[in-house]
Structure 1
Amino acid sequence: MKAKEKNAKESPSSTSTSGYLIATDEVLVETQVNRSRFFCYLFPCTSYEVMKARLTELQQEHPNANHHCYAFVSAAPQDSQAYGFSDDGEPSGTAGRPMLAMLQGSGIGQVAAIVVRYFGGVKLGTGGLQRAYGGALKAALPKLPTTHKVLTKTRALNVSYQQVSDIQHLIKLTNTQVLDEQYQENIKFVLAIPIDQLKLFEQQLLTLSSGALTLVKANHL
Structure 2
Amino acid sequence: MTEDTYLVPDLKAGEFHRTELIIKKSRFITSIAHTKGVEECKNFISAVSSEFSDARHNCFAYNGSKPGESGYAGCSDDGEPHGTAGHPMLNVLLHSEVGELTAVVTRYFGGILLGTGGLVKAYQDSVKQCLDSLKTTPMVLTVKMKVSLNPKFVGSFMRMLGEYGGGIEEQGFDTSYFFIVSLPESSEEAFCGRLNDLTAGTAEILKPN
Whether TM exceeds 0.5 here: the answer is: yes
Deviation at 1:79, TM superposition (A): 2.3
> Structure 1 residues 158, 114: closer, same or farther in 2, change over 3 A?
same
Aligned positions of 1:56-205 closer than 5 A: 56-205=46-195
Kindly provide the amino acid, as one letter, of the partner of residue 117 in structure 1: R
2:177 is the counterpart of 1:212: no
* Aligned equivalent of 1:27: 17
Deviation at 1:169, TM superposition (A): 1.0
Aligned positions of 1:34-73 closer than 5 A: 34-73=24-63
Same amino acid, percent of matched pairs? 30
The alignment's C-alpha RMSD in Å is 2.0
> Structure 1 residues 215, 184: closer, same or farther in 2, change over 3 A?
closer
Residues 193-216 of structure 1: CA distance to partner in whole angstroms, max 9, x if unpaired?
21222233134324433x334563
| Contact 1:17 1:195 (C-alpha < 8 Å) held by counterparts | no
Deviation at 1:128, TM superposition (A): 0.7
CA distance in 2, matches of 1:135, 1:171: 45
CA distance in 1, matches of 2:42, 2:162: 39
> Structure 1 residues 213, 131: closer, same or farther in 2, change over 3 A?
farther
Poorly superposed stretches of 4+, deviation over 6 Å: none
Residues 41-86 of structure 1: CA distance to partner in whole angstroms, max 9, x if unpaired?
0101113332332233223322321100000001112223201101
**Could you state the TM-score of these two structures normalised by the residue count of structure 1?**
0.84
CA distance in 1, matches of 2:142, 2:204: 14
Kindly provide the amino acid, as one letter, of the partner of residue 135 in structure 1: D
CA distance in 2, matches of 1:56, 1:195: 34
Determine helix, strand or coil for the equivalent of 1:193: strand
Question: Gapped runs of 5+ residues in structure 2?
Answer: none
Residues 148-201 of structure 1: CA distance to partner in whole angstroms, max 9, x if unpaired?
111223333211222211111112111113343231231122322212222331
| Contact 2:68 2:96 (C-alpha < 8 Å) held by counterparts | no
CA distance in 2, matches of 1:85, 1:167: 47
Deviation at 1:127, TM superposition (A): 0.9
| Contact 2:161 2:167 (C-alpha < 8 Å) held by counterparts | yes
CA distance in 1, matches of 2:150, 2:179: 11
Kindly provide the amino acid, as one letter, of the partner of residue 154 in structure 1: K
Determine helix, strand or coil for the equivalent of 2:105: strand
CA distance in 2, matches of 1:145, 1:160: 45
> Structure 1 residues 124, 167: closer, same or farther in 2, change over 3 A?
same
**Could you state the TM-score of these two structures normalised by the residue count of structure 2?**
0.88
Deviation at 1:16, TM superposition (A): 7.0
More off after superposition, 43-52 vs 122-131: 43-52
